[in-house]
């Protein structure tokens, strides 16, 4: 039986430092430096949002050689002046191949990824883009029951809800049900034909909204 849940939120930024500063200004906490993704030429910072969910700030690593392929999450097309933003989300599944085959939109090749001592599999489109402008999630599968979020320090932040608006919201909802998705998610159709993501995050100073619809 397929099972899935929100694994992490993705904030893209022109630099990792800019992404960290954006979250610190909004949430009042500074993400922890993560590590490098050698195959993508990227690096990240991480913020725990629960035992099995976290927020990732990801940016091009200026000290890494450029990869021979397009970087994930459309980072190659991100302008140097672009503001950090909640760009997309990642769904954890217990069978990434089976889940990807059920997607109404191609999610890309299943890639083997590493960061320091961690390893996982992730769907990545060949062009590095984000299906449905980030409304459709990437899929991830971790090799064991242990989740990396549990290794992060608890900064008093928790994901309360994720809201996604897209013209094909009903189709996305049907896909998520088919892969056994459970989680604090609200889907709505966009009458204007645009997509958007918004996450409500609880902190020690109250609840704040990341992203916009």
CATH class of 4-154: alpha beta
CA–CA distance from 164 to each of 26, 101, 107, 190 (Å)?
20, 22, 17, 9
Q: Three-class SS of residue 88?
A: strand
Query: Which are the contacts of 22, defined by CB distance < 8 A and separation ≥ 6?
Result: 11, 13, 83, 84
How far is the C-alpha of 167 from the C-alpha of 122, rounded, in Å? 25
Q: Three-class SS of residue 198?
A: strand
212 has pLDDT over 90 = no
Query: Which tens digit of pLDDT belongs to each residue from 68-124?
Result: 999 999 999 999 999 999 999 999 999 999 999 999 999 999 999 988 888 999 999
Query: Which tens digit of pLDDT belongs to each residue from 13-52?
Result: 999 999 999 999 999 999 999 999 999 999 999 999 999 9
The pTM (predicted TM-score) of the whole model is: 0.96
**Closest by alpha carbon to 22, among 204, 142, 14, 61?**
14
Helices (H), 12-53: 16-27
């Amino acid at each position: 039986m397929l099972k899935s849940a929100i694994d992490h939120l993705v904030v893209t930024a022109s630099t990792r430092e800019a992404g960290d500063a954006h979250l610190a200004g909004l949430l009042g906490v500074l993400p922890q430096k993560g590590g490098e993704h050698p195959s993508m030429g990227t690096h990240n910072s991480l913020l725990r949002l629960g035992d099995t969910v976290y927020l990732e700030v990801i940016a091009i690593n200026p000290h890494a050689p450029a990869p021979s392929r397009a970087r994930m999450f459309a980072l190659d097309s991100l302008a140097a002046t672009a503001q950090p933003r909640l760009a997309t989300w990642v769904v954890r599944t217990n069978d990434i191949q089976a889940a990807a085959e059920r997607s109404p939109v191609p999610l890309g090749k299943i890639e083997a990824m590493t960061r320091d001592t961690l390893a996982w599999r992730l769907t990545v489109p060949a062009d590095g883009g984000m299906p449905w402008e980030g409304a459709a999630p990437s899929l991830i599968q971790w090799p064991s029951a242990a989740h990396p979020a549990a290794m992060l320090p608890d900064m008093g932040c928790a994901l309360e809800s994720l809201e996604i608006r897209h013209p094909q919201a009903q189709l996305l909802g049907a896909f998520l049900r088919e892969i056994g998705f459970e989680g604090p998610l609200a889907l709505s159709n966009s009458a204007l034909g645009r997509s958007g993501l918004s996450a409500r995050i609880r902190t020690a100073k109250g609840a704040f909204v990341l992203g916009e619809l």
